[in-house]
Amino acid sequence: MVTDDFGTSINLMMQCGMLDSGGRLVEGDFEACLQAIREDIDSGRLSLALATSA
């Protein structure tokens, strides 16, 4: 895809990077994002690692 809009180009590159690394985009507002994260944690698709202090 060729585009003249720099912002669109950056967004497409970010989307490709997320999808290539196994991530995904969540469409919607902040609440929709939190809901998607909660669903991913509950389903086991996403796990959180606790950092230990050095």
2-51 confidence digits (pLDDT tens): 667 777 888 888 888 888 887 887 888 999 999 999 999 999 988 888 87
Q: Record the tokens describing residue 16, joined without a space.
A: 């490709």
Count the domains in the chain.
1
In a domain, 34, yes or no: yes
pLDDT of residue 27: 84
Contact between 40 and 31 under an 8 Å Cβ cutoff? The reply is no
Q: How many Cα atoms are found within 13 Å in the side-chain-facing hemisphere of 13?
A: 8
In a domain, 21, yes or no: yes
pLDDT of residue 39: 93
In a domain, 14, yes or no: yes
pLDDT of residue 2: 62
Rounded to two decimals, the pTM is 0.55
The contacts of residue 3 (CB under 8 Å, 6+ apart) are: 9, 12
